[in-house]
Structure 1
Amino acid sequence: MLGLGGCADLGYYWQSVSGHLQMINAARPVDELLGDAHASGQLKARLALAQRIRNFAVTELKLPDNPSYRRYADLQRSAVVWNVVAAPEFSLTLKTWCFPVTGCVGYRGYFNEAEARAEAEQLKADGLEVSVYGVPAYSTLGWMNWAGGDPLLSTFIGYPEGELARLIFHELSHQVVYVKDDTMFNESFATAVERLGGQRWLDSEALRGNEKARQDYAVFDGRRRQFRALALATRRELAAVYEQNTAPAQAIPGQAAMKSIAMQRFRDEYAKLKASWGGFAGYDPWVARANNAAFGAQAAYDELVPGFEALFEREGRDWQRFYDAVKRLAGLPREERRKALQTTNTNNTDNNTETPNG
């Protein structure tokens, strides 16, 4: 999140620090809000749910027990930060920015949307494809627990129950394992934890008589899985096109034509999906900005998830053993990490072991 070096980076560093401090200063303890006569009943119900999810994260998923998500901040805006991602015209490889704590990552976050869009325009002027999107939450990796940790935010407190649980589990998992300079490893691990943990939460709620939360989530997640399968197919098609990137300059028009065909196929197939969903339009904004940058950013969250889910199965669905195994992977060089996850997933598939839905 933070980077420093030169006047331009100094400005970015300042907006990062000041934006985070404003958020922290706006946060109030959840227990205090639950006892506040002026807080709405709806907010209190959501905060109480979030605390049950937070406790479940500790007792059932063995995620860190610390001050994170024990306070709440109303930001009075739609996102906590806006991320800027960028990629070349014929590549899904994201441009990276390097910072002292997080290492090199494939995005740059701004607390002010206008500043994010100004950065995007500069990147476009450099010939890159760019995507700007709002982010509901981010993790400080446990570094700020001394100051109250990462708070619950108005940007996500109203999420459906299954999504709220997934988000909290995802962000907490970054405090368990985080590897500098490997966004795909970090985000795929967190996505695996959110999927596996989210399903366990919903199953436990169903046993308590709250079957509706699981049913509602099944519909939502079914659509997400269909959309991600379509996006994965498109990424693979585009990657095949871009493998010709070393061809002579005269081949570029042909590449552009094949890219255009792939993108049109993606939009056509999405229209069919949307129709099958009864017109549910939740992915319209993503599709509207779909380009190399958007597809590249999504890959970071999805690409290695099957390997992590297979590793969870291999470790007997024991959370602590799973985390210990992931920490061992984190100590390997990047390519060895990827290969180990791919091998685990292949072996798991060969043994006909089903990974859980999450």
Structure 2
Amino acid sequence: MYCRLFLDFLKLLLLCLLLSGCAKVIYIAEQTKGQLSLQWNGIENKKLLDDVTVPPEIKQKVQLIEKYKQYFYEYWKIELGGIYSKTTMLENEAVTWLVITSKWDEVKALKECFPFTGCFPYLGFFNKKSAQAWMKDKQRSGFQAWMRPVYAYSTLGYFEDRILSSFFEYDQYELAELVFHELFHVMYFLKNNVEFNENLANFYGEEMAKEYFEKSSDSGYLEWKNRLKASSVLRRKISSHASELNQLYAAQKPKSQADGEAILQSFVDEKFKPMIENECNKLGLNNCSAKKGEWNNARFAAMLTYEKAAPDFHSLFKTHGDNLKDMLSYIKDREKEFNDSNQKDFTAFLFSSTIDQK
């Protein structure tokens, strides 16, 4: 199998040489090497579970992931093959690092496009130094940038995704949400619409985890559910402020980078940070990550990538009687109609139809 993957990789590089710049060929080569390393270093779960030197807490997490995968299969009746049948122990805490970039006068993630795979509102790097170098290069070019660690991702079924040691940092409830999120990407992914896909997978990951544990009386589950609700409220507040900042740029039309950065700084210091402080305290979020680090257009854009459509998906869920299967069937039907139309924005197309139904 790996020989075939290597040949496919060589073909891809050759095509990219014809269709892309040299920098992207180097990037693709580095990322492919990282992905193949994850595949080659995978250990069969059975072998890991039989190994007396492996800590019990790691074995427990692997067994939980296998249970969550089985639940996903039984729920959707979708073949998942060898996904999560092997475990790869990472050298670092994170598996990749994402870099998001944005212009200084707009909260919008800049897209990076590749032959065959489409466009993405970020770049992911297996090598942290490469991510930092890319970020600094974009900053030198006048863009705003933000980098964050990634602990899980999906190859959309192109590879048999591994359980990664980065998964083990999550408790059983967060782990269920993560596994359902990533497996949902395998089942449904709309090409060239990462924002829609991430918002939808976030929604399904959370709702499936709630259904999985709904009969649990465990205090840990109730704490997770309350934490999830509080986090959702905060994320929506941040998304709303990101949209408000965009409106400020549109209204004030900064003529220079310095003018744009002045608008950003004033907004963050006078409006955004006080809101974050107040909401984190009110919601009881003691370890509030939103209070940490710098906020710029790129970080706000990253939040919109994952959270902008969350309220709309919840409304759509209610429209379909809180039934996840009916909701997905409806989305797929609307996608077919969208493909036959002259519309360009599926998210707007989907939710305009939802509004008409009410």
TM-score by length of 2: 0.85
Unaligned runs of 5+ in 1: 351-358
Residue 27 of structure 1 and its aligned partner are, at CA, apart by: 1.3
Residues 249 and 14 of structure 1: CA distance in aligned 2, closer, same or farther (over 3 Å): closer
SS at match of 2:60: helix
Residue 311 (structure 2) pairs with residue 300 (structure 1): no
* CA offsets 1:233-271 (integer angstroms, 9 cap, x no match): 3112202102236x4839984x65443332112112222
* CA offsets 1:303-358 (integer angstroms, 9 cap, x no match): 2233333334444444444333222333425645223332355467x5xxxxxxxx
Residue 105 of structure 1 and its aligned partner are, at CA, apart by: 0.7
Cα RMSD (Å) of the superposition? Answer: 2.6
Residue 328 (structure 2) pairs with residue 323 (structure 1): yes
Q: Which residue of 2 aligns with 1:233?
A: 240
Q: Any conservation in 2 of the 1:161–1:213 contact (CA below 8 Å)?
A: no
Residue 270 (structure 2) pairs with residue 259 (structure 1): no
Map 1:275-354; keep pairs closer than 5 Å: 275-276=281-282, 280-284=286-290, 287-331=292-336, 332=338, 335-343=344-352, 345-346=354-355
Residues 288 and 64 of structure 1: CA distance in aligned 2, closer, same or farther (over 3 Å): farther
What is the distance in 1 between the residues matched to 2:54 and 2:189?
36
Residue 129 of structure 1 and its aligned partner are, at CA, apart by: 0.5
Q: Any conservation in 1 of the 2:100–2:145 contact (CA below 8 Å)?
A: yes
What is the distance in 1 between the residues matched to 2:52 and 2:142?
54
SS at match of 1:174: helix
Q: Any conservation in 1 of the 2:234–2:280 contact (CA below 8 Å)?
A: no
Amino acid at match of 2:158: W
Q: Which residue of 1 aligns with 2:208?
A: 197
What is the distance in 2 between the residues matched to 1:337 and 1:62?
26
SS at match of 1:266: helix
Unaligned runs of 5+ in 2: 1-11
Q: Any conservation in 2 of the 1:64–1:176 contact (CA below 8 Å)?
A: no
What is the distance in 2 between the residues matched to 1:124 and 1:35?
49
What is the distance in 1 between the residues matched to 2:163 and 2:241?
35
SS at match of 2:106: coil
Q: Which residue of 2 aligns with 1:178?
A: 189
Residues 330 and 136 of structure 1: CA distance in aligned 2, closer, same or farther (over 3 Å): farther
Q: Which residue of 1 aligns with 2:255?
A: 249
Amino acid at match of 2:49: L
Q: Which moved more, 1:116-125 or 1:222-231?
A: 222-231
Q: Any conservation in 2 of the 1:234–1:262 contact (CA below 8 Å)?
A: no
| 2:145 maps to which of 115, 122, 130 | 130
Residues 68 and 55 of structure 1: CA distance in aligned 2, closer, same or farther (over 3 Å): same
Q: Which residue of 2 aligns with 1:161?
A: 172
Residues 279 and 162 of structure 1: CA distance in aligned 2, closer, same or farther (over 3 Å): closer
Residue 185 of structure 1 and its aligned partner are, at CA, apart by: 1.4
Amino acid at match of 2:148: Y
Map 1:20-31; keep pairs closer than 5 Å: 20-31=35-46
SS at match of 1:155: helix
What is the distance in 1 between the residues matched to 2:139 and 2:255?
21
Q: Percent of counterpart pairs with the same letter?
A: 23
SS at match of 1:84: strand
* CA offsets 1:256-305 (integer angstroms, 9 cap, x no match): 54433321121122222343466722415x74132111111111111223
Residue 136 of structure 1 and its aligned partner are, at CA, apart by: 0.7
What is the distance in 1 between the residues matched to 2:57 and 2:294?
34
Residue 244 (structure 2) pairs with residue 214 (structure 1): no
What is the distance in 2 between the residues matched to 1:202 and 1:299?
28
Residue 36 of structure 1 and its aligned partner are, at CA, apart by: 1.8
Residues 328 and 11 of structure 1: CA distance in aligned 2, closer, same or farther (over 3 Å): same
Residue 100 of structure 1 and its aligned partner are, at CA, apart by: 3.0
Residues 226 and 312 of structure 1: CA distance in aligned 2, closer, same or farther (over 3 Å): closer
Residue 152 of structure 1 and its aligned partner are, at CA, apart by: 1.2
Residue 98 (structure 2) pairs with residue 89 (structure 1): no
What is the distance in 2 between the residues matched to 1:226 and 1:318?
22
Residue 70 (structure 2) pairs with residue 55 (structure 1): yes
Residues 242 and 345 of structure 1: CA distance in aligned 2, closer, same or farther (over 3 Å): farther
Residue 31 of structure 1 and its aligned partner are, at CA, apart by: 2.3
